[in-house]
Amino acid sequence: MILFFALAIVLVASAIVTIVQKSPVYSVVSLLVNFIALAAMYFTLNAEFIGVIQIVVYTGAILVLFVFVIALLSSGIGPFSEGPDRLPKILVPALVATLAAFGFLTYGLTRVPLGTLPAHVTTSTVGDVGKANVFGSVGDFGAALFTTHLLPFEVTAFILMVAVIGVVVLGSDATIAPTHGTHVPKKKSRERESIVKAAK
């Protein structure tokens, strides 16, 4: 129980540090601590496979992707510069999305009578670590991921993709203006042409 509370404190603290840090590198380091603490909590719940997947997939793949995005967009040693205020543009779509979400939630709650819960369906059995088709095994994890929890899995993948695209859009220094079929030479090209003309 003490280990659980210690890991919970580390999880919450590292998540808060990830959000409030201005330097993206420090945020990535805090996120790494969060992933490792979450994997350790999975190990304490006898879900070794999920813990290993947490380290391999999130720490070894997704976190490295975030590092590459930070390296491509900035030096990573300082905070991002504040861009233009985009809040007025996204206020109306955010309100519409929020009202739609509350509408779907209200509709779902009104479809089920209050005080009644659906019957619990057992999807896994408790057994020794290493046995097949027990809680935390590969078969149990795959069955739960691609049947019961398929929609949250796909939504999580979509959110991660949107986050990466958002970082690229928000971190871009300038937008590329359309040329409308005409090529505008860059500054260095114009300087090179002026030097050649002066030499002639």
pLDDT tens, position by position, 159-179: 878 877 876 776 665 444 555
CB-count burial class (<10 Å; 0-12, 13-18, 19+) for 141: middle
pTM of the model: 0.52
Structure tokens at 163: 């986050």
Phi-psi region of 63 (alpha: psi -120 to 50; beta: other; left: phi over 0): alpha
**pLDDT, tens digit, for every residue of 27-63?**
888 999 999 999 999 888 877 778 888 888 888 888 8
Can you tell me whether residue 186 is helix, strand or coil?
coil
Cα dist from 62 to 14, 131, 171, whole Å: 17, 29, 19
